[in-house]
A = this chain, B = another copy of it.
């Protein structure tokens, strides 16, 4: 019985965890021991165990060894693409419609989240993304024009801010929050759904270093689902 590539080592380790040969919280053999047992290099065992640790199934600590994670925190990965591609991936025809584009002072809540001052120049862009001519998502966005001056001359009438920003503005990291929200009158009108309908909301705040680039809320139609695997 020998396992010569890291995938088969990983499978064997997974099998032992599922079969409860190695119990939750229990210490498993060291990399060197497993390498000897499996007849492969320690590097190969390391690759397999590291992948499982990243997936949350193992806890590894120097000197302390490797344990089967007591509470396997599942990592569900959401792929967040440009909305146009998302719609296309569902086999629907993408449509875009600009609702509003204007310089305005952001509400206090938005200024707070973006950490900008009250008189910071911000651009507000609101637009509707459509799939097969029916509403798909409502985008409500604030852009800090001191960070992204190019946005001042971009009309956003044919290309969405969503797409334009991803392609033209670098960022270092972002925060995402997913929640549910009842549709207000305005949102219901744009999304062609009843007022008070339960909408899925994705809020994203994007940073370049220490400065907020943009804050966006995407509201999806009631039946919308985010899908992923475990």
Q: Which residues of A contact B (CB under 8 A)?
A: 17-20, 24, 56, 71-82, 85, 166-167, 170, 172-182, 196-201, 204, 206, 220, 222-230
Known: A71-B81, A71-B85. 5 other contacts (CB 8 A): A24-B167, A75-B77, A175-B229, A178-B226, A206-B230
Known interface pairs A71-B166, A76-B80, A172-B18. Does A180 touch B199 (Cβ–Cβ under 8 Å)?
yes
How far does the Cβ of A197 sit from chain B's closest Cβ, in whole Å? 7
Can you report 13 residue pairs joining A to B where beta carbons are below 8 Å apart? A56-B79, A71-B81, A74-B174, A75-B78, A76-B176, A173-B229, A177-B225, A178-B225, A178-B226, A178-B228, A180-B198, A180-B200, A196-B196
Closest to A227 in B: B177
- The docked-state distance in angstroms from the alpha carbon of A21 to that of B172 is 16
Please tell me if the beta carbons of B222 and A173 are within 8 angstroms of each other in the complex. no
B230 touches A173 (CB 8 A): yes
A198 to B196, CA, bound (A): 8
A interface, over-half SS: strand
- Assembly stoichiometry (copies): 2
Q: Is the CB of A227 within 8 A of B176?
A: yes
B-chain residues with CB within 8 Å of residue A172 when the two chains form the complex: 18
- Ordered nearest first, which 10 A-B pairs have the shortest CB separation? A174-B230, A180-B180, A198-B198, A180-B198, A18-B170, A74-B80, A178-B226, A180-B200, A182-B198, A76-B78
Closest to A56 in B: B79
Whether the pair A200, B178 counts as a contact (CB closer than 8 A) is yes
Q: Decide if A229 touches B174 in the complex (CB within 8 Å).
A: yes
Instruction: Give the residues in chain B near A79, CB-CB below 8 Å.
Output: 56, 73-75
Q: Are A73 and B77 in contact (CB under 8 A)?
A: no
Task: List residues of chain B with CB within 8 A of the CB of A204.
Answer: 230
Q: How far is the CA of A167 from the CA of B68 in the complex (A)?
A: 12
| A80 touches which of B73, B179, B223 (Cβ 8 Å) | B73
Q: How far is the CB of A82 from chain B (nearest CB, A)?
A: 5
Q: Are B180 and A222 in contact (CB under 8 A)?
A: yes
Given the interface pairs A79-B74, A80-B76, the reply to whether A170 lies near B20 with Cβ below 8 Å is yes
